[in-house]
Amino acid sequence: MAAVGTLGMVASVPGQTVGVNVFSEKLIEALGLTRTNVSAAYFVGTAVSGLALPFAGSLFDRFGARRMIVWASFALAAALGYMSVVDRVADGVGGVLGFGESNFWIRMVSLILGFFLMRFFGQGVVMMTSRNMIGKWWVSHRGKVFSIGGIAVAVCFSLAPKVFDGMIESMGWREAWRLMAICLVPGFVFVAWLLYRDNPDECGLEVDVGKLPDAKQADDPEFRFVKEFSRSEALGTFAFWAFSLVFALQALYFTAYAFHVVDVAADAGVSKGAMLNLFVPAALLNAGVSLFVGWACDRWRLKYLLAFMAGGNAVAALGLAALDGWWLSAAVVVGFGIGGGCFGALSGVFMPRFFGLKHLGAISGFFASLIVIGSAVGPLLFSVTRGATGSYELVHWGAGVASLVLLASAFWADNPQRRLAG
């Protein structure tokens, strides 16, 4: 379950920002749109997909992981197939409706639909379903499992832009998306149908493969479970919002940074090559932090790890705002390494531990919605700030100060189960 769930998270790459952005230049050329047009379509499609994710989370609670992953993978493959001919679809619709084959608004709507489908089913449903399934199969050792899987996900996400770019150059952008669709159907869909299972009970098995909790967990109120929270009850807790806002800000800021990395480098007085090279040490630190955080999740109160994550976000943003030379490079590596390393384990652990499993889909759907909307807002916010002020400095300072505020709030983000346990 840990391995196949991790494979599912990797399968979401074509719908993630790192998998979509590589195709931007080809879409601009094929659709005859400007870079701003494509960015606006990406923003709208991603934001709408985020608003729809709470509904998908409720479906997860109703139908379970196996059916959800099969449907979502089919849909993601169909979305990739659609995107491979999005310009031709737009021309065909324009011709049928009598608007002409190069109608601007039909092309924009066609692209927005494609981005919505890719983001909703890829970054949204496939990722959420895979993460939730792992969360149901592991309890006492959940952190360690998520941290190990998180390394594989981080490596694949880091390699995706280079691999996809190579596919585009060798076979063409249409064929690249079609090949991904074929890998999903029947490839991953068959594996998911064969191996995904919603929970151990339906298989006559035990959580944690029957392994007993660590000795520390047995006597620690942090690991006691008292109540299943509904979505409305979870959303009424301070802890949910403290965690969700840290993750949403990290998604907003890092997505925007990656989206505009070349221009951010120029604005900071750093060469393109030097800034891009920082992704490698940041990924290595990410892996080390992921292992540490996964181990710590099974032993410590999660609010301290949330503060650690918010601190990493602050280091990256304030480093880009105020530092230069070697210190700027160190801040980017350390900040993004810590923030990214905390993301996988903490996002997989905190909701099942704090709120239970009965309504996990509905709660995680709302959580995913905030992250996806944040990732949509980030690139646009960077563009607007750059256009209004001529620099990214203001948005760096804003993200850094917001991260420090969230760091302070993390110390009040207690597990709601502790209070109920008395």
Q: Are residues 44 and 175 in the same domain?
A: yes
Q: How far apart are CA 123 and CA 17, in angstroms?
A: 8
343-359 per-position pLDDT tens digit: 888 998 999 999 999 99
- Residues near 388 by Cβ (< 8 Å), separated by ≥ 6? none
The radius of gyration computed from the CA coordinates of the chain, to the nearest angstrom, equals: 21
Report whether 376 contacts 43 (CB < 8 A): yes
Q: Please tell me whether the peptide bond between 186 and the residue prior to it is cis, using omega within 30 degrees of 0.
A: yes
Q: Are residues 395 and 329 in the same domain?
A: yes
**Residue position matching structure tokens 């929270």:** 229
Report whether 45 contacts 114 (CB < 8 A): yes
User: For residue 185, what are its two tokens?
Assistant: 């159907």
Per DSSP, the three-state class of 413 is coil
User: What pLDDT, on the 0 to 100 scale, is given for residue 215?
Assistant: 64
Q: Are residues 289 and 166 in the same domain?
A: no
Residue 238: alpha-carbon gap to chain centroid:
22
Per the model's pLDDT, the better-predicted residue between 272 and 289 turns out to be: 289
Total structural domains within the chain: 2
Across the range 63-86, mean pLDDT stands at 95
Q: Are residues 119 and 160 in the same domain?
A: yes
Q: Are residues 231 and 181 in the same domain?
A: no
User: What pLDDT, on the 0 to 100 scale, is given for residue 230?
Assistant: 94
Report whether 95 contacts 101 (CB < 8 A): yes
Across the range 204-232, mean pLDDT stands at 79
Q: Are residues 247 and 153 in the same domain?
A: no
Which structural domain range is residue 178 located in?
Answer: 1-199
User: What pLDDT, on the 0 to 100 scale, is given for residue 233?
Assistant: 96
Q: Are residues 325 and 389 in the same domain?
A: yes
* Within-domain flag for 64: yes
DSSP 276-294: HHTHHHHHHHHHHHHHHHH
Residue 26: alpha-carbon gap to chain centroid:
24
User: Taking 90 as the threshold, does the pLDDT of residue 299 lie above it?
Assistant: no
* Within-domain flag for 294: yes
Instruction: Label residue 305 by pLDDT band (50, 70, 90).
Output: very high
* Within-domain flag for 420: no
User: Taking 90 as the threshold, does the pLDDT of residue 214 lie above it?
Assistant: no
User: What pLDDT, on the 0 to 100 scale, is given for residue 219?
Assistant: 66
Q: Are residues 22 and 96 in the same domain?
A: yes
User: Taking 80 as the threshold, does the pLDDT of residue 409 lie above it?
Assistant: yes
Across the range 140-145, mean pLDDT stands at 85
Q: How far apart are CA 123 and CA 50, in angstroms?
A: 9
User: What pLDDT, on the 0 to 100 scale, is given for residue 280?
Assistant: 82
223-255 per-position pLDDT tens digit: 888 899 999 999 999 999 999 999 999 999 998
**pTM metric for this prediction:** 0.86
User: What pLDDT, on the 0 to 100 scale, is given for residue 259?
Assistant: 78
Instruction: Label residue 22 by pLDDT band (50, 70, 90).
Output: confident
Per the model's pLDDT, the better-predicted residue between 210 and 4 turns out to be: 4
- Count Cβ atoms within 10 A of the Cβ of residue 322 and give its class: 0-12 exposed, 13-18 middle, 19 or more buried: middle
User: Taking 80 as the threshold, does the pLDDT of residue 395 lie above it?
Assistant: yes
For residue 356, give the CATH number of its domain: 1.20.1250.20
Considering the chain, what is the average pLDDT of its residues?
90
* Within-domain flag for 421: no
* Within-domain flag for 213: no
* Within-domain flag for 247: yes
Alpha helices in 188-278 (DSSP H): 189-195, 215-218, 231-235, 238-259, 261-268, 272-277
The size of the chain, in residues, is 422
Centre a 10 Å sphere on the Cβ of residue 83 and count the other Cβ atoms it contains: 27
Q: How far apart are CA 382 and CA 397, in angstroms?
A: 12
